[in-house]
Structure 1
């Protein structure tokens, strides 16, 4: 299984230390960082890829709930807090678990099982579908660790940008880490090449 990269965010050193100990003793995950302030997370994510964030809610400056709004959707969130009243709100985000302090090893192990199962499921889906595949009227694309299904008719064009290709729809752009030449071979005949872009004929 792919090594899971996790980040711990809490303004209490003791809370960070406890989760760090559990991660090191009970999992084979990679701890990529520890942040004591929400704004540190935004800076770290520009440099480091993260799969799971253990996130406190009550922090100075920017709360965990406010930070969650800015996190990429492919990053799973585990809220770790002393307050149960935020549980319902937390699942508006990519939340995989909500744990109450004081955190016990038994509770952490249940959370770790959820995380491992989630990434095993996503990895199996990636193997089944490949990086990107065309199936009938849909285009399956890998975005982070997730698979997205995009209707062929929603694709306006593809545009080459250095090491990746930008897929543009009326709703939003999606970055694909694939070469334009391979995409051209996979797409239906109603796409045509114009320099560094592939355009769909309506």
Structure 2
């Protein structure tokens, strides 16, 4: 299974062992090896990994502290010599908890658990036509649903997924709102940390709110100028 991961651990020998285990037993792509939490934070600001191998006992920020700062999109496999944190670890987005030294048998068990998780929770992908942008496909399980772009009223970000709303249905897309924003262009405009709207579906704009059908959507100051620049082209 093709997945992406990074290793975060301040022990070079532990990093080398995991790197070998990943290379010899999986098809995963190891994107980076980070030797402290701050290095990992900087990397993850610019890159996305399906999951991370995360040590707990590290300088500056512990693995537990780092886990609390990560996006819920980033799944964690803790790697540590300390068994006492196991219960606490599952308050985060944790798939498995590996005790050091990590044996091949235990790594293979974790590998099966990781791949089983991503088989059950596929990262839904949007594929927008390169020409015309008239429709796209939403992957749901083994089915690709064709959605007409013009029928979409808005996208709403909700924790680990995005809700896509049309007049007749709502679909959940397991991606970040920012990723969807990067694939869209006007008349789709980001108006809030939680909303992308289809300007063609707007009924009215009043008191810093957009009205689409029966939905009232706030316009945040952060996105107001860009939104109004699009709208100004249609103001008489």
TM-score by length of 1: 0.72
Q: Quick one: distance in 2 between partners of 1:29 and 1:41? A: 18
Q: Quick one: distance in 2 between partners of 1:88 and 1:80? A: 14
1:143 alignment partner in structure 2:
175
**Which of these residues, 208, 211, 229, is aligned with residue 199 of structure 1?**
211
2:45 alignment partner in structure 1:
46
Root-mean-square deviation over aligned CA pairs: 3.3
Alignment length, in residue pairs? Answer: 172
Q: Quick one: distance in 2 between partners of 1:17 and 1:124? A: 28
Distance 1:143 1:167, change over 3 A: farther
**Which of these residues, 163, 174, 194, is aligned with residue 194 of structure 2?**
174
| Deviation of 1:141 (Å) | 3.3
Distance 1:162 1:52, change over 3 A: same
Say which SS state the counterpart of residue 11 (structure 1) adopts: coil
Say which SS state the counterpart of residue 16 (structure 2) adopts: helix
| Deviation of 1:122 (Å) | 1.9
Question: Any stretches of 5+ residues in structure 1 without a counterpart?
Answer: 145-160
Moved more, 41-50 or 122-131: 122-131
| Deviation of 1:200 (Å) | 3.4
1:127 and 2:126 correspond: no
Q: Quick one: distance in 1 between partners of 2:91 and 2:170? A: 27
Moved more, 14-23 or 39-48: 39-48
Distance 1:7 1:199, change over 3 A: same
| Deviation of 1:117 (Å) | 1.1
Q: Is the 8 A contact 1:7 1:52 kept in 2?
A: yes
Q: Quick one: distance in 2 between partners of 1:94 and 1:167? A: 28
Question: Any stretches of 5+ residues in structure 2 without a counterpart?
Answer: 125-137, 148-162, 177-183, 215-236
Larger radius of gyration: 2
Q: What does 1:55-134 align with in structure 2 at a 5 Å threshold?
A: 55-123=54-122, 127-128=139-140, 130=145, 133-134=164-165
Q: Quick one: distance in 2 between partners of 1:101 and 1:142? A: 32
Q: Quick one: distance in 2 between partners of 1:175 and 1:94? A: 24
Q: Is the 8 A contact 1:50 1:75 kept in 2?
A: yes
Q: Quick one: distance in 2 between partners of 1:38 and 1:133? A: 34
| Deviation of 1:175 (Å) | 6.3
Higher RCO (CA 8 Å, separation ≥ 6 residues) = 1
Q: Quick one: distance in 2 between partners of 1:78 and 1:72? A: 14
Q: Quick one: distance in 2 between partners of 1:52 and 1:141? A: 18
TM-score by length of 2: 0.62
